[in-house]
Structure 1
Amino acid sequence: MNLRDLHTQHGATLAPDGIPLQYNDLATEYEQAHHAAVLLDRSHEGRIHLTNISRFELLNRMSTNKLVDMTAGEGRATLFTNDHARIIDRIEVYNLADTLLAITEPGQGPSITNFIQKHIFYGDQVQLADVTTETAHFALHGPQAVAIAKLINPDIHEDTTLAAYQATLGSTPVTLLRRKAVVGTHWAVICAKTDAEQVYVDLLSLGAPLGLIPAGSLTFNTLRIEAGRPARPELNTDYIPMEVGLYDEISFTKGCYTGQEIIARMDSRERIARVMVQLELDNLVQAPADLFLDGRLIGKITSSVQAPNHHVYALGVVKTAVAIPGKLLTAGEATATIVDYAGTQPTFLKPEQNTSA
């Protein structure tokens, strides 16, 4: 039985790419994500291997974060930006000893591979391989996700930094990644494509006593909006990384990269025109939608969703001066309340959040 048939057998409604959108009950998926754990197939997120001695330097000079001093097993998120410091894309990079593993946003594996390939210069000693179709990628989310991860590898450390571990699930070799959380903790399990069905079954069996159930992309989208995590609606050339809560994915001590001067200037002047905020609405407004304050256009909703708990959550990018918790805005016929900043903000906006290099 292939993975698509296995998902269907468990009650999944599938997207055209075979990734589950939902299983039988979105409310149950959402509840378990908040109180136990859910298992998602995230195989549409790209996976790229970089090998040979120039692998660190290549990504370091192309992106916002410092990568040349990564230790074995360490992970860091970083962004590609254009000449105007606008976001091209975001990846997470993990040091697997002799290989760097880059995880892309969904569907971006081929385009990011081509983008990196174009920046390999004469003299660079690096090989690049898009291994998305050769591997599978499952994700554990929720407060019990770390307990399930510890059943796979008892030696993992309990903290929030990105990290990679090698392990076996049953007799199958897997790579275990600690990633940015959207609820509880977030662990990825990467395996060979030929082992995908067995790994999926083994994960569900291993986690069942802890409340693990399968969930789909619709639940993930709800969780990431509720948590203030940017995705494709925010990770694009409309925005600069500091505007969408990704200050912790920028190093201000490394060498040059495309867009660096603009980002460094914004930080040194402690001036940012727009900022991403978490919103709650009194009824659903489909994104994108303009946001107004006293009739004045001050930003827009970029992502929105009505959760199974009947709350309407949204992300919006607004003028910094109005990004005040409790501030009431309007979007169409809805009232939108600013809950807080989303993500990690510059030190001059929210100093207690800053953990960047």
Structure 2
Amino acid sequence: MIEELKQLQSGLGAEFAELSSIPVSFRNDAIAKQAVREGVAICDRSHWGRILVSDGDRLRFLHNQTTNDFQKLHPGEGSDTVFVTPTARTIDLVTAYVLEDAVLLLVSPQTCQKLIGWMDRYIFFADKVKLQDITSTTATFSLIGPQSDSLIRQIGCEALIDRPYATHQLYNFGDLEVRIAVGSGLVSKGYTLIVEASQAGSLWQELVKLGAVPLGDRVWEQLRIEQGRPVPGAELTEEYNPLEAGLWQTISFEKGCYIGQETIARLNTYKGVKLQLWGVRLNAPVVAGTAVMLGSEKIGKLTSYTQTETGHFGLAYIRTKAGGAGLQVQVGEASGELVAVPFVEYLESVEGEIK
């Protein structure tokens, strides 16, 4: 049970978000970040949503609903994809794992019911598609760090090492049955593990015994901002499209019609990406939502901010024509410099302009 997991985490010093089971910190933030750089950390992502899409038309349906190509995926494979509105505004970045008889979607926290409602609108009478929210009956952990291969090898899953992103397999680890997928959810090397809620505590305990360092949601948030992973409510909103968010790897430009496809194709064909997501290295704290200025001209907006052991850092959408990496800007009372972030893919034409 998830309550058992919470008790185990409490024993490791976990501090929880108010009225939730989300471990914000294990009072070891610096050690956890070091583990991400040099060892292996474990992050509880059970508050992320999990949706099971099943029945005969599941792949065709998701192919028509999101930006990536589902028709080319086979059981054991997966990919990141984006749900967008008809005008290509972003709803959520999700990871899809294709099973033998279903597709498992790992979605951002607090978007599960929104996405189920969104998809349900597009299921018509003849469509063979079923949606099931399995968030409460499952748990998700991420192993993050260069030593994650070593830990995966210890539990007998070496067949996944060096496999493509989102490749996944169901493994028996002692009495535990766990689905393990390549990819940590961040740019950092790692794996995502999905298990029944009743086995979550046992799996967590075993992974910690094998050397995984517990990592709280506060450090996850720092990492995702430093690496440039966009999230709903900040970088993924109805103000922005997935090309502006730099999510080029999630988009198929070869597949047929899907929701938002016409707008995305037009933006790509006519080089119409007017904004681009950048990291901003800052010299002082700044509130998300603050305008980014170049002299007296507003060129963008800060969408996320974090303070780390190395200083102040944020993410911002910047007008493409304003420049890129190395550009000196003003964000509120703080000075900043634009830097590339690894989760984002950049237009070659833009990179050429700013070198």
TM-score normalised to the size of structure 2?
0.93
State whether residues 328 and 338 of structure 1, in contact with CA within 8 Å, keep that contact through their aligned partners in structure 2. yes
Shift of 1:11: 0.4
2:134 to 125, 131, 148: 131
Q: Is the 8 A contact 1:38 1:213 kept in 2?
A: yes
Once residues 142 and 287 of structure 1 are traced to their aligned partners in structure 2, the CA distance between those partners, rounded to angstroms, is 28
Which AA in structure 2 matches 1:25? N
CA–CA separation in structure 2 for the residues paired with 1:176 and 1:235: 27
1:11-46 per-residue CA deviation (whole Å, 9 max, x = no partner) reads 011013201000112222222221111111100111
Contact 1:170–1:202, Cα closer than 8 Å, also in 2: no
Match of 1:80 among 83, 91, 94: 83
- Does the 8 Å contact 2:178/2:195 carry over to 1? yes
Contact 2:185 2:192 (C-alpha < 8 Å) held by counterparts: no
Q: Does 1:2 align with 2:4?
A: yes
CA contact (8 A) 2:184 2:192 kept: no
SS of match in other structure, 2:159 = coil
Tell whether 2:259 aligns with 1:258: yes
Q: Show the counterpart of 2:174.
A: 170
Structure 1 contact 183–223 (Cα < 8 Å) conserved: no
Q: Which runs of 5+ in 1 are unaligned?
A: 352-357
Q: State the Cα distance separating 1:181 from its structure 2 match.
A: 5.0
1:265-344 counterparts in 2 under 5 A?
265-307=266-308, 309-340=309-340, 343-344=344-345
CA RMSD across the alignment? 1.7
The whole-number CA distance in structure 2 between the counterparts of 1:84 and 1:51 is 27
Structure 2 stretches lacking a partner, 5+ long: none
| Moved segments of 4+, more than 3 Å | 346-351
Closer, same or farther: CA 116–150 of 1 in aligned 2, 3 Å: farther
Partner Cα separation in structure 1 for residue 206 and residue 323 of structure 2: 45
CA distance in structure 1 between the aligned counterparts of 2:56 and 2:31, rounded to whole angstroms: 47
Superposed, 1:1-357 pairs within 5 Å as 2-15=4-17, 16-152=19-155, 153-179=157-183, 182-206=186-210, 208=211, 212-232=212-232, 233-307=234-308, 309-340=309-340, 343-349=344-350
In the aligned structure 1, how far is the partner of 2:275 from the partner of 2:184? 23
AA of the residue aligned to 1:5:
Q
Provide the identity percentage.
29
Aligned residue for 2:79, secondary structure, equals strand
Partner Cα separation in structure 2 for residue 194 and residue 167 of structure 1: 16
Which AA in structure 2 matches 1:272?
V
Measured in 1, the distance between the counterparts of 2:338 and 2:88 equals: 26
Q: 1:66 to 1:183 in 2, by over 3 A?
A: closer
Q: 1:248 to 1:239 in 2, by over 3 A?
A: same
CA contact (8 A) 1:21 1:218 kept: yes
Q: TM-score, normalised by structure 1?
A: 0.92
Paired residue secondary structure (1:155):
helix
Give distance in 1, aligned partners of 2:77 and 2:348: 24
SS at match of 1:338: strand
Rounded Cα–Cα distance in structure 2 between residues aligned with 1:192 and 1:296: 52
Alpha-carbon separation, structure 1, partners of 2:153 and 2:249: 27
Q: Deviations over 1:249-273 (max 9, x none)?
A: 1111111122211110111112311
Partner of 1:355: none
